[in-house]
Structure 1
Amino acid sequence: DLFVLPSYYENFGIAVAEAMSVGTPVVISDQVHIWNEIERSRSGWICSCTVESLTETLKEALHNRAEQLDRGKNAQIHAKENYSWNAIAQQMIKAYGEIQRANSKSANP
């Protein structure tokens, strides 16, 4: 299985994160905002917004079932570590802590 989103523009791509959360590797364009995270985590494949690029990327993704399974596992791990409710809550706690520390420093120079 693959989730394919060859979008010309996608701010975040919540559907991408949802697919990843259930272990489905993704094929997305380099216009989906999280493409670099997908590439870095090896959670799927990245193509440009051309028919040729999408065709070649799909051939590559569909050619090797073992690679699909590996990238699906990577996708699920990446989604859990970065996009789950718990992960988002931890990111928010960290951000608020940084704001609080910055405000404390500016109030007490």
Structure 2
Amino acid sequence: VKKIISILQAARSKTLQQWKELDCSITIVANEAKDNVRYLYTLDKYFGPLAHASPVMMEHIPSLMNTVFMIYCTSPYYNTSEHMTSLFLKITNQMINTCKTYLCEG
């Protein structure tokens, strides 16, 4: 994108401003994605126990909820109700599946 912008500047193109805006938008979204990955990675250690059909899963729920709360409080991008709703939906669906597996196999 940077090369395209420099070429458009040299050519005095009428679309230069649109390309600059596009570059800015891409940068913002890429930074948001990197930040979200960094925060969501902190949940990774809970998903192993959460996926195993065992009552041991219950021991990890308070720490998991605390980590989700910390993400909500500190993340500049992931602290919206839409993101939190989506995250809780995924977590609870996994918990339901784990419980069903435990009940059916145990």
TM-score, normalized by the shorter chain, greater than 0.5:
no
Structure that is richer in strand per residue: 1
